[in-house]
């Protein structure tokens, strides 16, 4: 967008795990794409090298005050539209959305419950909070490609903010993610990528719903999924969805 509207050079460094549909979307906005490394950390290292060698400014996808502030407006909209909200569920990866939402929501309503949701494969923020320090995780291929992957030891904001303001982070499986994507399309007529369906996956489990209460808001953020992939997932899980919901 910067390159297209302001004629500012933008290079987005991503790993080999990022699906083609997202790569194409980035290119369509006018940015250049550098596909480097097998995980987010290797792509980040490449971006930092470009900053040194080419005089560009590095902007983290999540660990940046302005990114966090922008994400925080989601909580402002939620509480403006429904002041009685008691629980907000949000997907969590590097923590930009999660920390922004948690900070803003708690500032306006200190007793609100903030729950993060991530997949159970290499959950960086979850593992780090459990350990009380940033721990390194790997990054594996997932339907929720936006969720797994490491956060840097140099993390300045999101780890501490999530540790302070998020009440709990719950894990979901690949199977639950697939079911939520199918449910969203079949029952809600919504196209959601794996990361965007993470909170929906949690709501499909009765034991969690009972704890959250009626005024629960689930942030379903992201619809960048190839239609052939989504239709295949939906076809596989259609019988289960129709029988149970």
Q: What is the DSSP letter of 123?
A: B
Looking at the fold, whether 72 and 43 belong to one and the same domain comes out as no
Residue 139 and residue 21 share a domain: no
Which residues neighbour 131 within 8 Å (Cβ) at sequence distance 6 or greater? none
Which whole number is the average pLDDT over 35-54? 86
> Residue 149: pLDDT band by 50, 70, 90 thresholds?
confident
Same domain, 150 and 175: yes
C-beta of residue 200 within 8 angstroms of C-beta of residue 180? yes
Report the first-to-last Cα separation within the chain, whole angstroms: 40
Q: How far apart are CA 185 and CA 229, in angstroms?
A: 12
85/50 same-domain check: no
Question: Do residue 108 and residue 127 come from a single domain?
Answer: yes
Residue 176 belongs to domain with CATH number: 3.40.50.1100
The answer to whether residues 78 and 163 belong to one domain is yes
Region 221-245: what's the mean pLDDT?
93
Among residues 212, 142, 221, 112, the alpha carbon closest in space to that of 170 is found at 212
Is-contact 115 98, C-beta < 8 A? no
Q: How many domains does the chain have?
A: 2
Tell me how far apart the alpha carbons of residues 101 and 68 are, in angstroms, rounded to a whole number. 8
What is the domain extent for residue 13? 2-54
- My answer on whether 86 and 200 are in the same domain is yes
Nearest to 201 by CA among 120, 130, 107, 123: 120
Location of structure tokens 């500032």: 107
At 149 the three-state DSSP class reads strand
State pLDDT tens for residues 3-18: 566 778 889 998 888 8
Beta-bridged to residue 89, according to DSSP, are: 115, 218
Q: At what angle do helices 174-187 and 227-244 cross, to 10 degrees?
A: 90
Mean pLDDT score across all residues of the chain: 91
Asked if residue 193 belongs to a domain, the reply is yes
Q: Could you tell me the pTM of the whole model?
A: 0.90
- For residue 201, CA distances in Å to 36, 194, 220, 230, 240 come to 31, 9, 10, 15, 14
- pLDDT tens, 56-81? 899 999 999 999 999 999 999 999 99
pLDDT at 4: 63
Q: Look at residue 116 and tell me if it is in a domain.
A: yes
């Amino acid at each position: 967008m910067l390159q297209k509207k302001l004629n500012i050079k933008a290079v987005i460094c991503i790993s080999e795990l990022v699906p083609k549909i997202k790569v194409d979307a980035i290119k369509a906005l006018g940015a250049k794409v550098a596909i480097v490394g097998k995980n987010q950390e290797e792509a980040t290292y490449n971006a930092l090298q470009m900053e040194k060698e080419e005089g560009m400014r590095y902007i983290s996808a999540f660990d940046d005050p302005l990114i966090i502030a922008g994400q925080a407006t989601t909580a402002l909209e939620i509480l403006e539209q429904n002041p009685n909200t008691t629980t907000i569920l949000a997907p969590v990866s590097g923590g930009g959305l999660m920390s922004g939402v948690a900070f803003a929501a708690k500032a306006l309503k200190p007793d609100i419950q903030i729950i993060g949701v991530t997949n159970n494969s290499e959950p960086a923020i979850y593992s780090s909070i459990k350990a009380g320090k940033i721990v390194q995780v790997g990054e594996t291929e997932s339907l929720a490609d936006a969720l797994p992957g490491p956060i840097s030891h140099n993390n300045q904001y999101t780890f501490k903010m999530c540790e302070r303001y998020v009440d709990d982070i719950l894990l979901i499986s690949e199977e639950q993610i697939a079911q939520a994507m199918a449910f969203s399309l079949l029952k809600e007529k919504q196209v959601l990528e794996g990361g965007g369906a993470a909170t929906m996956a949690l709501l499909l489990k009765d034991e969690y719903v009972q704890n959250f209460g009626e005024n629960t808001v689930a942030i379903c953020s992201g619809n960048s999924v190839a239609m052939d992939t989504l239709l295949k997932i939906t076809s596989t899980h259609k019988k289960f969805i129709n029988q149970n919901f």
